Amino acid sequence: MVNILVNRILIEDIDLVIFDKDGTLIDLYTYWSSMIRFRAELIQEKLDLTDEQTNQVIYEMGVDEKNLRLRPEGPVGILKREIVTKAAADYLESIGHKNTMELCIEVFKKIDEVSLDKFDKIIKPIDGMYDFIGALKGNDCKIAIATTDKSYRAELAMNFLKIDKAIDMIVGVDEVENGKPDPDMIEKICKKLDVPPSKTAMVGDAITDVKMGVNAKVKASIGVATGITPKHKLLEITDDVVDSIADIRLV
């Protein structure tokens, strides 16, 4: 059990902290801009797209390379994989390439494999991540991950970061019926780890993360401004907003 200090507000008696992965523990843009470009370039190769068309596929999937950010409306980084896949296929259809959903699904699978050898370039931990995870584990607080990524991808990322042994449970969107902001992931974690929402804190960078915590009725749903959502937007949902997990303290 730990007590967490967020902006001079003390959140007491927390037995479980659930983290979003991308934008909370690892740098959001580095990871997803790389994955989306890998996917788009393979689609380009298979369909002989122009560079302009390839850049538009990237944009449709949710990456704004011009401004070095993810698009606030996603879909990548916010919505489930199937919606990102459909965004690519819909654009390809609009420029004359019919029946490309299966091709896009296969491209995504291939990039999942190829990217395993590129983790050193695409996974960058958020400053303060190791210290906070270590402090929670050192005080016997349970730790879980709830992500819109697939569970096995999150597991591989945690292994790469060498914090896998500190994580008690990982739940990806592939393991629940309803993704964020529905409470399914948190409910699954709390049930498995035998910790009630009243002793749980959710930490995430997206509106969907914070709303998931609210919908699950956790004790605290904490927004971090290191990802896709500006700080002022997070503050519209919760008073517990920090610049980074490095600003959350145990007391």
Q: If DSSP states are collapsed to H, E and C, what string results for the chain?
A: CEEEEECCEEEEEECEEEECCECCCECHHHHHHHHHHHHHHHHHHHHCCCHHHHHHHHHHCCEECCCCEECCCCCCCCCCHHHHHHHHHHHHHHCCCCCCHHHHHHHHHHHHHHHHHHHHHHCCECCCHHHHHHHHHHCCCEEEEEECCCHHHHHHHHHHHCCHHHCCEEEEHHHCCCCCCCCHHHHHHHHHHCCCHHHEEEEECCHHHHHHHHHCCCCEEEEECCCCCCHHHHCCCCCCEECCHHHCEEC
Residue 22 sits in the same domain as residue 38: no
Pair 147, 243 in one domain: yes
Same domain, yes or no, for 87 and 133? Answer: no
Per-residue model confidence (pLDDT) at position 249: 94
What average pLDDT does this structure show over 164-188? 96
Indicate whether 80 pLDDT > 90. no
Please check whether residues 9 and 33 belong to one and the same domain: no
On whether both 35 and 23 belong to a single domain, the answer is: no
129/233 same-domain check: yes
CA-CA-CA-CA torsion sign (114, 175, 70, 133)? negative
Residue 188 has pLDDT above 90, yes or no: yes
Q: Do 76 and 95 share a structural domain?
A: yes
Based on the fold, state whether residues 20 and 37 are members of the same structural domain.
Answer: no
The residue range of the domain holding 111 is 29-121
Which residues 6+ apart lie within 8 Å of 67 measured at CB?
none
Q: What average pLDDT does the structure give for the chain?
A: 96
Mean pLDDT of 33-44: 98
For the chain, percent of residues with pLDDT exceeding 70: 100
117 has a pLDDT exceeding 90: yes
Tell whether 117 and 142 lie within a shared domain: no
Q: Are residues 151 and 71 in the same domain?
A: no
pTM: predicted TM-score of the whole model, two decimal places: 0.90
